[in-house]
Homo-oligomer: A and B are copies of this chain.
Amino acid sequence: MRSYRTVLTMNVEGRMAFVNITPQVEAAVVASGVRDGLCLVNAMHITASVFINDDEPGLHEDYARWLEWLAPYDPSPQRYHHNRTGEDNGDAHHKRQIMGREVVVAVTDGRLDFGPWEQIFYGEFDGNRPKRVLVKIIGE
């Protein structure tokens, strides 16, 4: 069995944004030498997501608006008890649960085994600081 590990560092301006990281994950698959296996991609921070969807700017606007409805930014400790800790990112911990922590993608013939529109995104919900994404590939 082969295994390969790499870490991407994300540095997103603004509180919320979606960044296509498919090229970096594809490069990791090539570097791994794995032809057949599984590729895990996960946010290493708990106010960020990794998910698969469409690379379409209108959709990303929709996601941002929808997540703000589901879990509005509000630094007060009344809405989010988490903010009693002195943090202001209670909302971000909720947004991340909707969008998910990780994806697992099949690797087949040395490539990400994707449908026609699948792209991997990093979702940032508490930006303006460096954060990391783990890519771990196992297989043969």
Contacts and interface: CB of A to CB of B under 8 A. Distances in A.
Interface of A: 1, 3, 5, 36-38, 40, 42-46, 51-54, 56-59, 61-63, 66, 70-71, 77, 80-85, 90, 93-94, 96-106, 108, 113-118, 132, 134, 136, 138-140
Closest 8 CB pairs of A and B: A44-B115, A58-B81, A106-B136, A59-B82, A3-B36, A58-B82, A61-B81, A46-B53
The quantity of this chain's copies bound in the complex is 3
Interface of A is mostly: mixed
A71 B62 CA distance: 11
Given A59-B93, A82-B56, A117-B46, A38 B40 contact: yes
